[in-house]
Chains A and B, each alone.
Chain A
Amino acid sequence: MSLNSKIPSGPLAEKWTHYKEHVKLVNPANKRKLEVIVVGTGLAGGAAAATLAELGYKVKAFCFQDSPRRAHSIAAQGGINAAKNYKNDGDSVFRLFYDTIKGGDFRSREGNVHRLAEVSTNIIDQCTAQGVPFAREYGGLLDNRSFGGAQVSRTFYARGQTGQQLLLGAYQALERQIGLGNVTMYNRHEMVELVIIDGKARGIIARDLVTGELTKHFGHAVMLATGGYGNVFYLSTNAMGSNVTAIWKAHKKGAFFGNPCYTQIHPTCIPVTGDYQSKLTLMSESLRNDGRVWVPKSREDAKDIREGRKTAIDIKEEDRDYYLERKYPSFGNLCPRDIASRAAKEACDDGRGIVASGLGVFLDFADAIRRLGVDVVKARYGELFPMYHNITNEDPLKMPMKIYPAVHYTMGGLWVDYELMTTVPGLYAMGEANFSDHGANRLGASALMQGLADGYFVAPYTVGNYLSSEIFTKAIPTDHPAFVEAENAARERMNRFLNVKGKTSVEEFHKRLGKIMWEYCGMARTEAGLTKAKGLLKELREEFWRDVRVPGEFNSFNPDLDKAGRVADFIELGELMVRDALNRNESCGGHFREEYQDAGEAKRDDVNYRYAAAWEFKGVEAEPELHKEQLEFENVELQVRSYK
């Protein structure tokens, strides 16, 4: 099968307009007869479900939380980018496009990224109209800040709760449609199978998480917006329930998986302190605007700090290594995430980490406090300082924060074409669940933008192009053999989990999976390590099916049974990620292969690897097949991404 990205022809800036002007439409009377399933009601899914219902389609929406208002999108702190140029500092659609392509280390599609930058401005208009309380200036107009090292101020924010406010906006639009009877909402439901009939996506099997019952749902099209899979690493900044199950089931039924190994490791998270820890907490990137990152110059000092004989304050200025400022004089503490993360790892690998485990560096506000005063610094970072204080029991106004990189975001996901359709006709993927517009590395404040772009402004229109040829398809009854078969497969699998009755809990397997992934497929990867991980993951998978212990019953509220399904899928995904990382013999963005570097800096190979990898599933035991989508750059020049 050859991949067709369906990028419209014509000049870059006109592609989307041209597409919209020529896309096939569905008339209102027919829309009412067409049913669309939207799985996931975070920013991407919530926005899409609401918009599709407004357009007149019959929508069924699913989420595993008790309410669509609680999707993981709610945790985003920093902000959302848009090329509004409200600050008159020279921003434009092209600049946002260019920054995103460059930030992604030239591993994304020009056409998609340009469209993203174009609709970014509509998002801000839409959300403001919904009543999202964005930060404002004294004149009453919207405020912006600069974020993640961008040279312009294009980030809109609502205190430290931007994700929450954007999600509530989408949620309220969705609830309005639920109230009007245009959307049926299935909360506490988890998609556990995709149903394909005659080669097209036609529905899903979902587990009612309250009763445990399996339920069957038909749709003329199925849209997945189920978020990222960072929890394959066990510890991450993602919510506890974030999982890969929906897109993994789709992958196993024919949807290719794009760039699974591209993972974003965020440099400023609270370090791991104990084995009981269930998640890692992000400290917003904005802290690097004023905080300076350092470790002691000498290993002895670092050891003394680790063992409690000294604290940060005992280390004299000349004995500190502000390593980001030293290595990247022009960007300093504001260099991009992947670079800051690797530099922290390097310092700690060198024996200069400053927390008991050895894995931690300082983020110091002393200079900013001297310069601006405590009150200004406190006001600038709002809830972040108290939050850090509460979690760690240390006051960052008195003692530098201790931070370390943690898994945060997955650029990989289901491969989609320009219309956001996967390789399965009628199956779409949106938001973090698709392999998206971020290439090998995502810039700060761009995930919210992409989720809402997909959900409000792209997918609801591109799906019409497909549905216009489905108007004669009658709703397929769910006693169709394909539904029954998918339901049976899901039931058998869950019964298998329950019947192993082994000794090891699901949680324990998840932790072990996370350790393997972090060690060998984390911030720095090598051929030898990845090869080893491949073997370890296969062993882990076999052991899981031999020895897992899942308590409780099938037909009941049973979170451990749900989690067993998620972890089993994560293990298989881990194997694919390792496979992808092994294949990519270059370093780019979040993917750093130690063999491919120039004096510590990532070395891309544009001759051999300027492609998106799309993997086809061939069986759990079989090698997946690699398909390559060559990336063409007609509007930007490929360069080495330097921040020195």
Chain B
Amino acid sequence: MKINLRVWRQKNSSDKGGMKSYVVNDVNPDMSFLEMFDVLNEQLIQLGDEPIAFDHDCREGICGMCSMYINGRAHGPLHGTTTCQLYMRHFKDGETIVVEPWRASAFPVIKDLVVDRTAFDKIIAAGGFVSVNTGQAIDANAIAVEKAKAEEAMDAAACIGCGACVAACKNASGMLFTSAKVSQLALLPQGSPERKVRVLKMIEAHDEAGFGSCTNTGACEAECPKEISISHIARLNREFALASLD
């Protein structure tokens, strides 16, 4: 296959940046999207150009590192898929593909397609945990958890923190990410003692980091590679309302 690419190039955070065109020939349909970028980067190195910077690590759809905005969609055209799990067979020979970084003021561009997502870590540091020191735990089976609740908590916990929800949202809201953690811990008895402070602190950190507010467009759920449901945002809102009553 032959693929035409338009890729965002930006030297560093202070550079203005812009789109550049590239052609990759001999693309094998069984290549992953990132492997196609590997091939392009090898070509660029041979030409003496600087390769395109992009984040990636596990290439198995679980670490949440990869983050490309492909043809106007976070992680590209396929539903429930990260960029690293997207294969070239889903594109047409001769197609032009536009690739940009996540765009959000809370995620400044570091270089080319690489953005800074440490704002997510700050939200977790504010309250996305259970305060239990090593060695303080009781026997695991002393806490029984209803299976359905445990399953729902796991659905929420499956979030990989990639930031596609933010990139997909017109308000650049980080609410799906935040709610996934709030919801997981609210569903489990272990998370119960800190339920109220947790949601308040995490939302405060979310707003401070510069994420926009949620207007329920549902774009985040549609683009989430792990198909995290916006019902968690509804739970977060209930948790927030309850906590604010006190």
Residues of B within 8 A of A161 (CB): 62, 158
Q: Are B30 and A138 in contact (CB under 8 A)?
A: no
Distance in angstroms between the alpha carbons of A163 and B158 in the assembled complex:
11
Closest to B48 in A: A551
Contact of B134 among A51, A136, A165 (CB under 8 A): A51
* CA gap between A67 and B146 in the complex, in Å: 32
| A39-60 residues at the B interface, CB under 8 angstroms | 47, 50-51, 54
Q: Is A329 in the interface zone, CB < 8 Å from B?
A: no
A138: chain B residues at CB < 8 Å are: 147
- Whether A175 is near chain B, meaning CB under 8 Å from some CB there, is yes
Check B117 against A66 for contact (C-beta < 8 Å): yes
Known: A133-B150, A274-B31. A67 touches B120 (CB 8 A): yes
Contact of B131 among A86, A176, A392 (CB under 8 A): A176
> CB distance B65 to A70 under 8 Å?
yes
Verify A131–B121 contact, CB threshold 8 A. Answer: no
With A390-B81, A393-B30 as known contacts, state yes or no: A276 contacts B53, CB within 8 Å. no
Tell me the bound Cα distance from A556 to B14 in angstroms.
13
- In the complex with contacts A66-B116, A393-B30, A552-B50, A240-B111 CB distance below 8 A: no
A259 / chain B contacts, CB cutoff of 8 Å: none
Give the docked Cα–Cα distance between A507 and B40 (Å).
Answer: 13
> Is B133 touching A54 in the complex (CB atoms < 8 A)?
yes
Per the bound structure, the CA–CA distance linking A541 and B28 in Å amounts to: 31
**Which residues of B51-109 are within 8 A (CB) of A?**
51, 53, 55-65, 81, 85, 87, 89
CB < 8 Å neighbour of B157 from A47, A84, A133, A142: A133
* B153 contact set on A, CB distance < 8 A: 131, 133
B101: min CB distance to chain A, Å: 13
Set of chain B residues within 8 Å of A318, measured between Cβ atoms: none
Contact A239 B63 (CB under 8 A): yes
Please give, as numbers and ranges, the residues of chain A lying within 8 Å of B39 by CB-CB distance: 276
Q: Is the pair B63, A74 in contact by a Cβ cutoff of 8 Å? A: yes
CB distance from A177 to the nearest CB of B (A): 9
8 Å CB contact of B35 from A127, A134, A276 = A276
Could you tell me if B12 and A557 are in contact, using CB atoms closer than 8 angstroms?
yes
CB within 8 Å of B: which A147-195 residues: 158-159, 161, 164-165, 168, 171-173, 175-176, 178-179, 185, 187
Interface size range on A against B: 35 or more
Q: Is B191 touching A142 in the complex (CB atoms < 8 A)?
A: no
A187 engages B118 (CB within 8 Å): yes
Complex Cα spacing A141 to B145, Å: 7
B188 touches A65 (CB 8 A): no
**Distance from A393 Cβ to chain B, minimum over Cβ atoms (Å):** 6
Q: Which residues of A have CB within 8 Å of B65?
A: 65-66, 70
Contact yes or no, A274 B28, CB < 8 A: yes
Segment at the A interface, from B122-130, B209-217, B232-240: B122-130
In Å, the complex CA distance between A130 and B184 comes to 11
Nearest chain A CB to B10 CB, angstrom units: 11
* B residues 7-49 in Cβ contact with A at 8 Å: 11-12, 28, 30-32, 34-35, 38-39, 42, 44-46, 48-49
Nearest CB in chain B to that of A281: its residue? B60
Q: Are B145 and A136 in contact (CB under 8 A)?
A: yes
Residue of A nearest to B57 (CB): A239
Collect the chain B residues with CB atoms within 8 Å of residue A141's CB: 141, 144
Measured between beta carbons, the chain B residues less than 8 angstroms from A128 are: 137, 140, 143, 190
- Which of B38, B62, B125 is within 8 Å of A278, CB to CB? B38
Q: Do A129 and B132 touch across chains, with their CB atoms under 8 A apart?
A: yes
A72 within 8 A of B: yes
| B64: nearest chain-A partner, CB-CB | A70
B124 → chain A, closest Cβ, in Å? Answer: 4
Known: A66-B55, A557-B111. A165 touches B157 (CB 8 A): yes
CB distance from B136 to the nearest CB of A (A): 7
Q: Which residues of A contact B56 (CB under 8 A)?
A: 240
> Could you tell me if A557 and B126 are in contact, using CB atoms closer than 8 angstroms?
no
Closest to A550 in B: B45
Bound CA span A47–B28, Å? 42
Q: In the complex, which residue of chain A has the Cβ closest to the Cβ of B29?
A: A393
Beta-carbon contact of B58 and A74 below 8 Å: yes
Q: Quick one: which of A253-308 are within 8 Å of B by CB? A: 273-274, 276-279, 281
Min Cβ gap A338→B in Å is 23
* Contact of B138 with A507 in the complex, beta carbons under 8 Å: no
Closest to A64 in B: B57
Point out which of B42, B44, B150 has the most chain A C-beta atoms below 10 A from its C-beta: B150
B190 → chain A closest CB, angstroms: 5
Residues of B within 8 Å of A140, CB to CB, are 144-147, 150
6 contacts between A and B (CB under 8 A): A70-B58, A175-B124, A176-B131, A185-B121, A187-B118, A391-B85
In the complex, besides A70-B63, A390-B87, 19 extra interface pairs with C-beta distance below 8 angstroms are A51-B134, A69-B64, A70-B161, A125-B137, A126-B132, A126-B135, A133-B184, A133-B188, A136-B145, A140-B150, A165-B157, A172-B129, A172-B130, A175-B129, A240-B59, A278-B38, A391-B87, A456-B134, A507-B42
